[in-house]
């Protein structure tokens, strides 16, 4: 009888220990469960962060590509400095040529005036010569007329 009692006590002690063990296992599992939940929440947040970053990166990529596309078009057009230089050179040529034109026009004016003076003096001389001839003719006719009168 003592042995059966001690056996019962022993099995009771064993089941008590098992019960304790189960309780502690449960606590352990609860802890692990909470940890996993926390890490899931953290992972969700990270995913949301990463999604935002992806959107940002996509926007950056889009801007870069737009820039590249415009740059390609711009490259087709000639360089601004070169065109400015060409413009300057053309401007200088224009100035130079207009200078020459002015000089030539001045010379032309001068010559024209001189010719004008020359021509007008020739005309005057012609006029005076004609006048002189007329005067001398008139004098001769007067002389012959006077001679005829004295003869009569």
Partner 1 sequence: MDIQRALELLHMTVFSQSVSPCGKYLAAGNNYGEIAVFSLSAALSSEAKEESKKPVVSFTAHDGPVYAMVSTERQLLSAGNGEVKAWNWSDIVKKGCKEAWSRRPPYRSSLEVPEINSLQLNPKDNSLLLAGGDCSVHAMDLESGTFTHEFRGHSDYVHCLALRDQYQECLSGSEDGTVRMWDLRTGAQVQVIEVHKYEECSRPQNGKWIRCLATDCDWMVCGGGPALTLWHLRSVTPTTVFPLPHCQQHVMFYQDLILSAGHSPAINHLQISGELRAQIPCTPRSVHSLCVNQRSPEHKVAGCSLEGGGRMARGRGAE
Residues of this chain that interact with partner 1 (CB under 8 A) are: 54-55, 58-59, 61-62, 65-66, 68-70, 72-73
CA dist 32 and 40 (Å) reads 12
Rounded-to-integer distance, Cα 24 and Cα 142, Å: 171
In this structure, what are the phi and psi dihedrals at residue 79, rounded to the nearest 5 degrees?
-65, 145
Residue 10 CA to residue 16 CA, distance in Å, equals 10
Q: How far is the CB of 20 from partner 1 (least distance, A)?
A: 43
Q: Tokens 């962060």 appear where?
A: 49
Q: How far is the CB of 72 from partner 1 (least distance, A)?
A: 7
Residue nearer to partner 1 on the CB measure, 63 or 86: 63
Q: Which is nearer to partner 1, 59 or 112 (CB)?
A: 59
Q: Provide the minimum distance between the beta carbon of 54 and partner 1 in the complex, in angstroms, as a whole number.
A: 8
Q: Tokens at residue 32, please?
A: 């692990």
* Closer residue to partner 1 (CB): 50 or 94: 50
**What DSSP assignment string belongs to 47-63?**
HHHHHHHHHHHHHHHHH
Q: What's the closest the beta carbon of residue 73 comes to partner 1, in angstroms?
A: 5
50 vs 97, beta carbon nearer partner 1: 50
């Amino acid at each position: 009888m003592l042995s059966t009692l001690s056996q019962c006590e022993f099995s009771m002690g064993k089941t008590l220990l098992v019960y304790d063990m189960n309780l502690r296992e449960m606590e352990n599992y609860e802890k692990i469960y909470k940890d996993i939940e926390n890490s899931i929440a953290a992972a969700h947040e990270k995913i949301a962060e990463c999604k935002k970053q992806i959107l940002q990166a996509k926007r950056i990529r889009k801007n870069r590509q737009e820039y590249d596309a415009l740059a390609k078009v711009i490259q087709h057009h000639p360089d601004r400095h070169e065109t400015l230089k060409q413009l300057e050179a053309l401007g200088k040529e224009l100035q130079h040529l207009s200078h020459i034109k002015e000089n030539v026009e001045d010379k032309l004016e001068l010559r024209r005036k001189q010719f004008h003076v020359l021509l007008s003096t020739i005309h005057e001389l012609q006029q005076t010569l004609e006048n002189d001839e007329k005067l001398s003719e008139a004098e001769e006719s007067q002389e012959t007329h006077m001679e005829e009168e004295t003869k009569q």
